[in-house]
Amino acid sequence: MATERYNAREAEARWQTVWTEGKVYQTPNDDPRPKYYVLEMFPYPSGRIHMGHVRNYSMGDVVARFKRAKGFNVLHPMGWDAFGMPAENAAMQNKVHPKSWTYQNIATMRGQLQSMGLSLDWSREFATCDVEYYTRQQHLFLDFLAAGLVTRRQSKVNWDPVDMTVLANEQVIDGRGWRSGALVEQRELTQWFLKITDYAEDLLTALDGLDRWPEKVRTMQRNWIGRSEGLRIRFALAGNGAPESARTVEVFTTRPDTLFGMSFLALSPDHPVTKMLAADNPDLAAFVDECHRMGTSVAALETAEKKGFDTGLKVVHPFTGDMHPVYVANFVLMDYGTGALFGCPAHDQRDHDFASKYGLPIHPVVVPEGVDAAGFSVADAPFLDDGRIVNSAFLDGLSVGEAKEAVARRLEAVTLDGAPAAARQVNYRLRDWGISRQRYWGCPIPVIHCETCGVVPVPKADLPVALPDDVEFDRPGNPLDRHPTWRHVACPACREPARRETDTMDTFVDSSWYFARFTAPDADDPTIPAVADAWLPVDQYIGGIEHAILHLLYSRFFTRAMRATGHVNLDEPFRGLFTQGMVVHETYRGPDGAWVSPADVRFEETDDGRKAFLATTGAPVVIGSIEKMSKSKKNTVDPTDIIESYGADTARWFMLSDSPPERDVEWTDAGAQGTNRFLQRVWRLVTEAARDLPAASPAGAPSAEATAILKAAHKALAAVDEAIEGLRFNVALAKIYELVNTLGSAFANDKPRFAADASFTAAFREALGILVQVMAPMTPHLAEECWQALGRDGLVANTPWPAVDPSLLVEDELTLPVQVNGKKRADVTVPRDADAATVEAAALALEAVIKALDGKPPRKVIVVPQRIVNVVA
């Protein structure tokens, strides 16, 4: 008799209703069980979920369900990273208000996520654009401001003169605005900054303690923070035109040992001394302008030629008294070090390029160990390695390290213009975090500018500073700036007319503390510290590697800033981090070379491989490379289509199978079908067994067949447990396949036993129960359906994880491989506790071993208990 096929669509909707109505996944804050916080990076509400989301949230859900079954009080929330530019772009293009566009997208995507059957506590949901959320963010900002963690200063930005807005570096393409196509200018604007650099050292050293983070991410953050130890050296300025107010200029160097190889000094175009000089030097002013037009994008910097402008000024070498020229150079960054450097062309690639171009001297002062200084040339390339100091007076003969120390000590003692000529300094590549955005759809920065009182924080009682709804997007620029009334406000200090700050915050601010807000989403204050401290840190955070630096570094900083202002009492927000791989898919191109969606392609297996054709016309389609799913290449698969045709469980299982979770996984329809076949097979096995198995009455000693079934089930259980614990989902799934194969053939072959052997029937029922439970984290709907079919009580979702019976994991007899000279020749089966001598004797008695030894006595026999025997001839 055929069983009915499992109807995923019907069953999934039904169980989702049961879970929701039973509030199965709502997490109370006052549960005595140990806590476990699982979090997947919350999505941007772009419109529809994509397969990447399915993979990310499937992984998180497995962890959440597994930990819940293991007895933890699990927090597994979801929200929306809802501010940002796409909403404003949609407003400009489609005349939709950013707010309605965003909330409509959220509604759609919430429905899609719910159809996946995720064990989320939806009662904690929020969007960062909810006024209830960003009010608390403004509260945090005010606290940070009071704590000295916020500054306001001039900074260079990419300014699009047509759109009248600031652009991020990645929005500048070949020096032009990505939307307007206008030439982007470098402008100095007053911007708000969060002082992340205050924590540079802490953020760096604390990385060592994040032992459950991928090493790769920690390395990336280390490089980003970019700590370097060096020396600040001041040089006396000399020569005509030296400004009265600047008698010295300071440089930062990590190579003070090469000071005697100096041949020039270079200033940033933005250096104060440059500005003074440019004021009455039109040629220099023109050069500075040229530098500004170059742009700061990576591409621009990479291709830019090194250019300099000789100011005519000189600096005095502190040891030799020699005069060296002072250039303004386009490659010197104002916001690193002191905005000035001394050039040593012999031992620095960049200085070498510059000196070669301008004909400056190149004197080697470091030579490789054992090389004659006289015969050593750096004319073609600088020497960058360690070596011995030469041509450097009192440094000669020292190592690079010793020379650095010697120069530092000597210069610290020299007084120049009333202060030491040098000081040791640790420098960081990390800069303060500029959070000002000249946009509407973001969290308003809660300050007021008053003519008389200056910058005045908005009093907390006056929060929120809410975004006005009546805004127009018909013109470029920031709608907040030209709103008729919004910006006009009385100064909180003097009550005179004043104006609001119209900058809004970078959306990375929104995502820097949402994980804390989830612990008390309705609190009046940003957090309830005791509750936040009880839940945090997030035990397992899962998301894409693309956030390795910015989001994760900002969140680490924010947590420290929230600790400094009393909102939490911890410093690291994410105890465990996992970065999952992408979902990739084949690409297809039609006869006209245009990308074709997989939905429009039909396949045929031919003698020379797989061929593709357009479903509509039958025209041939070229199968291209496998790439990250993207709209532009049309190689996407819509999760909703998959869920409707195969069910959420199939999508979830397939996303977790085969590929290790940190690696890319290829979506193929054949794979999805295979997964669906497997789930149907499980359903058939469970329902047919439930039908054919007599109600089991506890039997006496289990038969050999019953023991075999129990062993298979408990071994699989132990393996799945360990694999999920290590986030090795593909391995967990493989073990489940194995168990299903074992149970399937046992069911087919041993049916006659059901009537005769009660212990076998009981064992089979137990094994099926274990199977359903270990599958439940991955395929929760099917698991509930099977659970019910087996006649078990309640929901699998509420059932504790089964306990492994350790006695079922050990075998009485072991089959060991026997090697002769390292090559496997036979197997030997021995009792588990056999001693080495017994095993050796048994191995040497094997026919294959005797044959391989060819009459010679073994020189040595190695017996590794429970593992292997190796006979050395």
Partner RNA sequence: GCGGACGUGGCGAAACUGGUAGACGCACGAGACUUAAAAUCUUGCGCCGCAAGGCUUACGGGUUCGAGUCCCGUCGUCCGCACCA
Triad 630, 635, 637: Cα angle to 5°:
95
Q: Residue written as tokens 């409707």?
A: 644
Residues whose CB is less than 8 angstroms from the CB of residue 674 and which lie 6 or more positions away in sequence, other chains included: none
- Shortest Cβ 116–RNA spacing (Å): 21
- Shortest Cβ 626–RNA spacing (Å): 9
Comparison of 157 and 447: residue with beta carbon closer to RNA: 157
Calpha distance 295→158 (Å, rounded): 7
Query: Tokens for 425?
Result: 């300094």
Comparison of 126 and 678: residue with beta carbon closer to RNA: 678
| Number of CB atoms found within 10 A of residue 520's CB | 19
- Shortest Cβ 733–RNA spacing (Å): 7
Query: Tokens for 131?
Result: 């006024």
Among residues 67, 52, 110, 10, which one has the least CA distance to residue 538?
67
Among residues 335, 333, 283, 289, which one has the least CA distance to residue 309?
283
Residues whose CB is less than 8 angstroms from the CB of residue 342 and which lie 6 or more positions away in sequence, other chains included: 233, 235, 251, 253, 259, 262, 264, 265, 266, 324
Calpha distance 777→58 (Å, rounded): 9
Q: Residue written as tokens 């998180």?
A: 60
- Shortest Cβ 558–RNA spacing (Å): 20
- Shortest Cβ 477–RNA spacing (Å): 29
- Shortest Cβ 286–RNA spacing (Å): 18
Query: Tokens for 642?
Result: 């998959």
Q: Please name the helix (run of DSSP H) or strand (run of DSSP E) that holds residue 613, with its range, or none.
A: strand 609-614
Comparison of 402 and 722: residue with beta carbon closer to RNA: 722
Comparison of 115 and 338: residue with beta carbon closer to RNA: 338
* 122-125 contacts at long range (C-beta below 8 A, 24 or more positions apart): 122/25, 122/78, 123/23, 123/26, 124/27, 124/77, 124/78, 124/79, 124/518, 124/521, 125/77, 125/78, 125/79, 125/80, 125/521
3-state secondary structure of 187: strand
Comparison of 455 and 748: residue with beta carbon closer to RNA: 748
Comparison of 516 and 842: residue with beta carbon closer to RNA: 842
- Shortest Cβ 823–RNA spacing (Å): 7
- Shortest Cβ 790–RNA spacing (Å): 19
Comparison of 243 and 858: residue with beta carbon closer to RNA: 858
- Shortest Cβ 145–RNA spacing (Å): 27
Strands 172-173 and 73-75: unpaired
- Shortest Cβ 516–RNA spacing (Å): 26
3-state secondary structure of 23: coil
Comparison of 482 and 824: residue with beta carbon closer to RNA: 824
Comparison of 536 and 720: residue with beta carbon closer to RNA: 720
557 and 199 in contact (C-beta within 8 Å)?
A: yes
Residues whose CB is less than 8 angstroms from the CB of residue 223 and which lie 6 or more positions away in sequence, other chains included: none
Comparison of 27 and 338: residue with beta carbon closer to RNA: 338
